[in-house]
Structure formats: C-alpha cells, structure tokens
Structure 1
Amino acid sequence: MDFAFDARTEELRGRLLAFMDEHVHPAEAVAAGQREAAASPWDVPPVVEELKAEARRQGLWNLFFTNEHSLPGPVHGAGLTNLQYAPLAEITGRSPQLAPTALNCAAPDTGNMELLAQFGTEEQRRLWLEPLLAGTIRSAFAMTEPDVASSDATNIETRIERDGDAYVVTGRKWYISGALHPDCRIFIVMGKTDPGAADIRRQQSMVLVPRDAPGVQVRRAMRVYGYEDHYHGGHAEVVFDGVRVPADHLVGEEGGGFAIAQARLGPGRIHHCMRLIGMAERAIELMCRRAVARTAFGEPLARQGVVQEWIADARVAVEQLRLLVLKTAWMMDTVGNRGAHTEIQAIKIATPRTVVGIIDRAVQLHGAGGVSQDFPLAELWAAARTLRLADGPDEVHQRSLARRELGRYR
C-alpha cells in the first residue's frame, strides 16, 4: 500500500478543500437561518440547492460512485476507487450536514444507489437510480423495526407476501433516514417473504415501495439526542399498511434480502468512518482555537497540561484511525468487501468510539458554548454517538470479529 495520494486524489482534494472554504462553511450559518425561517422544518434551505448546483458545475458530484459501480451511458461520477474517495469523504465530514448533500454523497442515498446499481433491473435503474444520481429525488432504506432487535436482521417481522402479480407489504419501521425529505420518492423495504425457510438468512427479501403508494404512512419524526436531522430528511417512523407494489419491484431474488443488506452496509460503514475522521479534525481545530483564545486562572487554556494532553491524544488517535480506514479502503479495492470484512468491522468499532471521545473533550473545553447552538460540537457529538448504533452496534461487530479471530485457533 502506497501511503501517498495519487495525482488524481490530490487534485480533487485541492478543489474540494477550496469548495468547502469558499462555499460550504460560509453557507452553514445561512442554512441554519433559512431553516429557522421556513414554513416547514423539512423544507430544504435554498442555499443547499445553490451548493448542489455549484458542486455539479465544479465536477464535485457523485464522488462516492466508485469504478465497480460504473454503468453504461453517461458519466455518473468521478470513477474513483475507495482509496481515492476516502480522503475526499473525510473533508466532507468537516461539515456533515451540508457537504455530503451538496456533493450528492449523503446517506442513505449513497447506499441505495450502490444497491440499485448492483442488484437493480434495467427498469429499476431507469426509474430510480438515474434520478438519484442526478440529485433530483431522494430515497430511504427501511430496515430497522421498533419491536425487535434489528441488530440481528433475521429478526425482521415486516411481511412481504406475494399476491398474484403483486407483493403486499405490512409492517412498522422506525429511524428510517430520509423519509421526511420533501424529495423522497422511493423506499427500499426489507421484510420476510418466507418466514418458514430453514435457512434464516433466506427468509428476507427487498422491494421498492414508492413514497406515495397507498398504505404508506409516515407517522412521526424520530429525534436523535433531541435533534431532528432536517438537512437529510429526518429519521421517521413509517407504517406499511397492506401496501401493494408490482412484482417487478422486487430487488434481486426472493430470499436474497439478507445478502443484499450485507453488500449495501459494507461501503456505507466505511463512508461513515471516513466522514467521522473529518468530524474529529473539525473538533481538534475548534479545540485548538479555543485553547489559545481563552484565559482561565491567569493563563491561556493552551498552557494547561490537561488541555495539551487532550490535544496530543486526539492527534495521535486520528492519525491511527486514518491509517486503518485507508487500509480498509485499499483492501476493498484489492480483495473486495468480503476480503476486507475484518477491517471493515474494526473501523466500525474503533472510529465512532474514538471520535465521540475527541468531540466530548472539545465540548468540555468550550464549556457552556460546547453544548450550545453557537458551535457545531453538540450536533457533531450526537451524530458520532449515533454511529455506534447505526449499521450495527459495536457489540455485534465485536462478536463477529472475535469469532473470526478465534476461528484461526480452533
């Protein structure tokens, strides 16, 4: 593995850093003001559409759409490898509410686009993937349920039953990201088509459910530590009350839902970890600026030994995480997601946990300001802490990783 970024990556990093400084960071306060003045909390701030237009103009669009997902027809993205995309995703993590959306690289759309590219039919790609790649619609991924431990996907209770030339979807989901976005047009829903199958990993399937299909009920917005993720379309509780969709809305094959979910979540996990490193870098920057600007007990905070220790430990931790994430991205490119299974789990365990600690110290250094809306730290902390649950809680990944490690000695 070469530790230097190649020329293409360096060129894109330079352009993206300039885009962040000239457009994204100045838009943060503007977007917050526009959102507060909007008639609905889910209205998209106009500045977001301006950022998207500028990103497209500059060719900073669909950067996540790697070479393996290349499709026939027009160019959809930069055609990067995971290793090339990693440092770019890190940069967007410095403004996680605006930058990923501006570049059309925000979850859950990225995972849904990869899923449709890999498993969708030609017609499904035409109807849903093409407009998602164009950024004209948004999407949601409906898997998690409130009544079962969804960290074990075999527990899913939503039913997807064949009825002639249609499937009927019945179930209750929650924390369905993007469902409240005004441009959300399609759900990818995971449920059971054959709950009696002997192989519990062949009981599940996925279907495409239009947002406006009769029986789709978006009940309420779910908060995350008191926050509602307005920019990405919130996290909703959704009920599917006997929703009928044509049989050709099945994704892949019946019984293939579990395998598709695993294929989708692998890249999603590394994308989150890439952005988390950017969030940590933003926290370190704010911590350092605060330390040199504030005086307590007769001297700058920067001269306090404990503050110096926090900053040093944060720098060491981020450098370690970055190397592990880059190694994982390189392995995904060279040996595939399966070959990088252990590394994907390792970064999913280590990165959110470590970044939560870094942001928490930055909050502490800012005092009351750290938990206020005047700094991004409280929102960054909530987002990072949530990622210890999203895409599988720490303990699930630790269990799986330990089994693989122990397997070498059995």
Structure 2
Amino acid sequence: MKTASAFSVRPGAEVAANEALDGLMSRLGATPDLLFLYATQHHAEPALLEAIGRRLPGVPVVGGTSCGGVMTEAGFHTGPDGALGLFGICDREGSYGVGAAEIGVAPHAAGAAAIQAALAAAGRDFEAPTLVWCCQPPGQEEAVLEGIQSVIGRTTPIIGGSSADEAIAGQWRQFSPQGVTPDHAVVAVLFPTTAHGAAFQSGYTPSGHSGIVTRAGDRQILEIDHQPAATLYSRWTEGAVSASDRGMILAQSTATPLGRIAAEVEGVPMFVLSHPALMGSDGDVSLFTDIAVGDRIHLMRGSPDSLVKRGGAVVANACATGGWPIDATRGGLVIYCGGCMLHVRERMDEVVQGVRDAIGPAPFLGAHTFGEQGAIMENCNRHGNLMVSALTFG
C-alpha cells in the first residue's frame, strides 16, 4: 500500500480540485484505488466531482464537507475561498468500494443499502470488510450505524464523521459516486493488504457530576433526576451555561459536554460525548446525539490545552493498536470535531504538529465534522460529539 495527501485553498471547485489532484498524483505516482475527499462548503458543487472524474475515471470517492478547513501533514488549511483536501490509497491487491443511499425517513434502511452497494462495488458481496468509513449528514447517525451493522455485524470497526458546514445552516454535503448530495449515507468498505489501527476518544474528563435521564424526547433531555434538564445542567456548570439561556448554546457548552460510559478498558471508563446544542423554553436541552430515559449522563470538562493535545494522542493510540513503530506508518485519516476546532482555532497549527509527532513522516488528511463515529473497542461502534476518530495504516 502507498498513500498520499494533497490540498488546495484556491477559489473555485474545479480549480481547487485540479491543483490538489496535481499534488496527489505527483506524490502517489499511480492511480488511487480509493480517494477520500473533504472540502469546505465553498466547493460542494457538481464541478468538484466532475473535475475529479475527468482525471480519475472510475476511482471511488468518499467524503463530505468539513467545517472551517482541512488538515494535512503540510498544516491546517483554511481561507476565505474555502479549502479542499485529498487522501489517496494505492493498494492493487486490496479491495475497495463506495456505496451511497438517500436517508429520507429511513436512516436504518439507508445504512444497509449503502453498505451493500459498497460491498458490491468492491466485488466482495456477502463478506465482512476489514474496515468501514462512513459520512452522513448530522441528525440520524445512530440509525445509519445500526443499518450498516445489520448487514456486516458488529465486529468491523466503523470510522468516520458527519458532514459539516460553516454556520450550522444545513449546507453540509456528502461526496460519493452518486455526486454531491445533501441527504445521503455514504459508506466505503476497505479490505487493505496492510495492518491498520483505529482509535476513538475525547479530550474531556468527568467532573464528578452525574444523573439519570428521567424524561427524554427526540435528541432532547427534558429531565435529569426528575428536575428540569436546563436547571440541573446550569447548576453543574456553575452558571457557565445559564438556565435562563434560550436557543443555541453550542459555544457556551463546548467546554462542558455530557458523557455516557460506552465501555471500560482495563477498568478505565471510556466515554462517548453529547454536545448540548439548544436550550428550550421548557427547560429542555437538545443534543447532537440520541438519548434515552435511564441513561446515566456525566458532566465532562475539557480545556483548550486538552483539546489541542487530543488529536495527536488519538492518532498515537491508533498507531499503537496497529503495533508498528512510528516511522513505519504509511498514512492516516483523522476526524477532529468541528466544535473542538472552532474552540481552539487559533492553535490548529499545534493540533497538526501533534498529529505529525504521532504519525511520523507519513501523509494524512483531517476533517472537522459535526458528529464523529468510531470504535471504542470491539463490538462498540458509536456516534458521539466533540470526539477525535483516527485510522492509520502500517
């Protein structure tokens, strides 16, 4: 296997695509068998995939829009005209395929249809892939994951992120052989010939406050321990998020998300996070994840320093699970939450340097998403917020 990355901050989807493709093909030296594509909403138009299709006919493309910019080993790439990043895998003895399906009102069915289409495209129908990469719009990620797992089971790691835009205005898009789409689950199946490592973590720690969800709605917490959710959440944050706030609270709540224990590794609890997004007039708190009555939620705390360091730490963990030395890493993909990126935007060069330190001289591509998916441990693929998900090849 050989990998390479490239980027462009040029204006215009076609111009940016061609500049990035020039760099990618120069470094890769061959036609990729799978192409990962992440770009800001500025470039999310048909001309983007048309330009790639002219240069790389028949090459499967997977990805979506990224908030604020993209990362590669060359730095954090952003600008007034947007940014675009590519990561190509050349692995002639491996098998790769991409499938997509419209979500509509049937996210479970869309996940199942997309994975089946990806397996057919790879020529590996009825097999469980080594890895799955996914991209979908925010809103119904858990059901999409369940749909994927209904076909391939629960032991295959599912890694990826939900597409994002610049202002949470629904301008996110997904990229696939079906084009630039607003409401599709896009899935890539990977049967690589080399070793891989994956990790899924956050940069937050439990504060000591916790409670049981006693009333819940659709991605809403209505009551915690039989008290209005907003009241108790405000008390836990010591007023950093006021119970009288109404509407969007994403910026205020980034430092204090809610966590649920997804698994334990050697006695250490592993948390999946939910980002409080809206405060309602009835004391309810809306999230970017599903939530259910009976869930125990923990107030989590994170600092800018912990978020800056977490990107490199998760990539290092992914490499460690693969079991090879740093200088043997062939390449990697990093999903770094868009909310975290916005919180530490002025320090994104440090985030990139942390990933470089973890991955060595290997190429990588990073995107900033509005929801992250990963495998915390075997049989535990989850969707969360304010997380980092990494995939590395060795």
Q: Give the TM interval when normalised to the shorter protein.
A: under 0.3
Higher helix share: 1
Q: Which has the higher contact order (CA 8 A, sep 6+)?
A: 2
Q: TM-score, normalised by structure 1?
A: 0.27
In terms of Rg, which structure is larger? Answer: 1
